[in-house]
């Protein structure tokens, strides 16, 4: 029985949500500094920084899940798989020419 290959491409919602989290976090921190620590949520002070960095952290955690298919699927310039790599390695092993060196 053949196993199914793992998902090669991430879901379509992942990249926009990742970028949105980065931008919301950046915007949150910029507003906090520009408003002289009064906004985006008044009254919680430096916790606004924690909220901004939390959005950025969520963006980074989503970035680790992002995968993209190769542009040239099936193209001859692909990286060899582990099996192809070991076969190439076996074929190109160094063999001394002189019998005493073997």
Contacts of 14 (CB under 8 A, 6+ apart): 62, 65, 66
Which pLDDT does position 26 carry in this prediction?
A: 96
Q: Whole-prediction pTM value? A: 0.58
Work out the pLDDT band at 37, boundaries 50, 70, 90: confident
Using the predicted structure, report yes or no on whether residue 77 has a pLDDT greater than 60.
no
Helices and strands (DSSP H and E) totals, the chain: 3, 0
- Which range has the top average pLDDT, 6-10, 51-55, 67-71? 51-55
CA distance 10 to 74: 19
Using pLDDT thresholds of 50, 70 and 90, give the confidence band for residue 79: low
Angle at 13 between CA 12 and CA 16, to 5 degrees: 110
| Residue owning tokens 């290959």 | 5
């Amino acid at each position: 029985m053949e196993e199914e290959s793992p998902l090669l491409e991430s879901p379509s919602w992942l990249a926009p949500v990742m970028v949105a989290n980065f931008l919301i976090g950046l915007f949150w921190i910029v507003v906090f500094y520009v408003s002289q620590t009064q906004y985006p949520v008044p009254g919680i002070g430096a916790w606004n920084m924690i909220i901004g960095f939390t959005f950025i952290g969520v963006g980074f955690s989503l970035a680790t899940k992002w995968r993209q298919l190769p542009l040239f699927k099936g193209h001859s310039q692909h990286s060899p798989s582990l099996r192809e790599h070991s076969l190439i390695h076996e074929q190109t092993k160094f063999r001394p020419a002189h019998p005493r060196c073997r």
